[in-house]
Amino acid sequence: MALPAHQTGKLAVSIGVAAATAALGAGYSHVVGGMPRAGATAGFIVGLLLSGFELFFVQTPAGAWLRRLPLMLFIGIATLVWALLIGFSIYVAAPLILDLRLSDLDVRGREASNLAFAFGLAFLLTFFLRIRSLVGDRVLFNFVIGRYRKPISEERVFMFLDIADSTRLSEQFGDVKIQALIGRFFFDIARPIAEHGGETYRYIGDEVVVSWPMSRAVADARCVQCVFDIQDVLAQRSDEYRRLFGVVPRFRVGMHAGPVVIGEVGYSRRSIVYFGETVSYAVALQSACKRVHRDFLVSAELMDRLESSSELPRCFLGPIELFPDGTSVDAYAISRSNSTLSRREAL
């Protein structure tokens, strides 16, 4: 059975990291006069286990409790796990695979330096994966190669998603509690966004802006499936939201596709920014949701590009006015009653 796309991507990253740490392990063993094949084997296992721990536990629902911990406590627990995995890789797994005795590895002579080097690799690996999880692998890669140092044009899909009735909730809860609700909401929806290849562009109050390269977004209608998965996450955690906040948040989404100009700005804090009508139309569609009493609007232009769009539960609304000058676009409302909470239940 084929793995989901997001799982395949994680597996590819994990194997790539393991290959890199294997090369580093072999090189280190050669420099210090050890056994390169033992260093390569241990390095591969270290990279595979540590990246697997990060990608298949920390960044999944099972690891949500760990991600919510204060940073220093998170680091302390992660360091303990690293120590166990590194020790297992160097002194158990690698010797078993290579049929070596520990004496063959000269444990006493190089034990401290071996562990120090392995921990150094672990910190570099974890730093890379943490940055990747914060900004996204594609954004990180583009920063590294300087792809957008000179503005370029790309076809992309933009999604503007905000919490419905947040003003009323803010008056009801107060600033501290509504901020806790918003923070928890963004935390919970980060995983489905990442799993469907979305790149979180920025957070604005109670709103998140997500972007996809066109080909990634339209394949299997991943951008729309992302919204369905967010709905499912909220439905699955509805009891927890009611216990913590007394309410299950609803949200509204506007989505549009088209050309944008992308470039880097800033110096001390560099950012990638997007310019063009595509962005304006997406946010205007999100704003129009309340006016037309819908929670999810997709432009007809994007709908025409989506793979399997005919299978989506959609309703054609015709032209919707987006701007005071009368500019309008044809749009569809999308809903999936079997995965969303009713308005009365959510509120």
Task: Give the pLDDT confidence of 236-288 residue by residue, as tens digits.
Answer: 999 999 999 999 999 999 999 999 998 777 665 667 788 889 999 999 999 99
Say if residue 340's pLDDT is above 60.
no
Mark which of 135, 163, 186 sits at the end of a domain.
135
131 and 155 assigned to the same domain:
no
Is the same domain home to 332 and 188?
yes
Q: 215 lies in a domain?
A: yes
Q: Which of 119-123, 261-265, 304-308 has the lowest mean pLDDT?
A: 119-123
Which residue, of 85, 106, 135, is where some domain finishes?
135
28 occurs within a structural domain: yes
pLDDT digits (tens, 9 = 90+) for 217-238: 999 899 999 999 999 999 999 9
Summarize the confidence of residues 39-68 as an average pLDDT: 81
What is the pLDDT, as a whole number, of residue 12?
A: 82
- Residue 121: predicted pLDDT: 65
Q: 199 near 260, Cβ under 8 Å? A: no
Q: How far is CA 162 from CA 88, 117, 188, 207, in A?
A: 45, 45, 14, 4
Of residues 113 and 198, more confidently modeled: 198
**Parent domain of 273:** 151-346
Q: Residue 110 in 3-state DSSP?
A: helix
Mean pLDDT (whole number) for 143-167: 82
Report CA torsion sign: 332, 336, 341, 343.
Answer: positive
CA separation for the pair 250, 286 (Å, rounded): 13
Task: Please say if the pLDDT value at position 316 is more than 60.
Answer: yes
Of residues 281 and 86, more confidence is placed in 281
- Above 50 in pLDDT, residue 342? no
Q: What is the pLDDT of residue 241?
A: 93
Say yes or no: 111 and 171 in one domain. no
For residues 242 and 325, state if they share a domain: yes
Mean pLDDT of all residues in 9-36: 80
Task: Compute the distance between CA of residue 79 and CA of residue 41 in angstroms, rounded to an integer.
Answer: 22
The answer on 175 and 51 residing in a single domain is: no
- Strands 152-163 vs 207-213: parallel, antiparallel or unpaired: antiparallel
Q: How far is Cα of residue 165 from the mean position of the Cα atoms in its chain?
A: 26
Query: In terms of domains, do 116 and 241 share one?
Result: no
Number of domains in the chain: 2
Task: Let me know whether 106 and 162 are in one domain.
Answer: no
Average the pLDDT over 285-299 and give the result.
94
- Give this prediction's pTM: 0.69
Please report, for the domain that includes residue 208, its CATH number: 3.30.70.1230
Q: Among the listed ranges 118-122, 157-161, 327-331, which one has the minimum average pLDDT value?
A: 118-122
pLDDT at 62 (0 to 100): 78
